[in-house]
Amino acid sequence: MTPPRRLALAVATISLAALTTACGAVGQAVDCNSAANEVTKIATEWSTAITKDATNTKALGDASKAAATKTKELAGKYDGDVAAALNDLAAGFESLESGDISKATEFTGKMSGFQSKISSACS
């Protein structure tokens, strides 16, 4: 599996994990689920764009820039740990804006931290 495909799978997995995380309070559950739904949309758009041609560095850069922008906008709607997790994800997307496919592995490593932060924010 190529790095972009592994990366896309990691994003989708973490989005799903964030979506299904049990949240303690009803209001917080809504916030967590809303954030997770939006992240899933962003990740799906990003994944679709980069998997069309896994070796196209321009597509990786463009898709990553768009995903980072959308994720930052989403983070602006939240506060606390949810916002921090979203900002971390945005930073991960930003690290791929240069189109450097080799950075995909580094980004995949950051995904577990994103998942942990979302889980903590929603518990």
Q: What's the rounded Cα separation, in Å, for the pair 14 and 35?
A: 12
Q: How many domains does the chain divide into?
A: 1
Domain coverage including residue 84 = 3-121
Please state the rounded mean pLDDT for residues 86-98: 91
Please say whether the beta carbons of 32 and 71 come within 8 A. Answer: no
pLDDT at 26: 42
Residues of the chain by 3-state class (helix, strand, coil), percent to 5: 80, 0, 20
Question: For 31-66, what is each residue's pLDDT tens digit?
Answer: 677 888 888 889 889 888 888 887 889 998 999 999
Cβ-based burial of 50 (10 A; exposed 0-12, middle 13-18, buried ≥19): buried
For the chain, the farthest-separated pair of C-alpha atoms sits apart, in whole angstroms, at 44
Q: Which residues contact 100 (CB under 8 A, 6 or more apart)?
A: 57, 60
Asked if 118 contacts 82 with a C-beta cutoff of 8 angstroms, the reply is yes
Report the predicted TM-score, pTM, of the whole model to 2 decimal places: 0.72
> How many angstroms separate the CA atoms of 39 and 88, rounded?
12
pLDDT at 47: 83
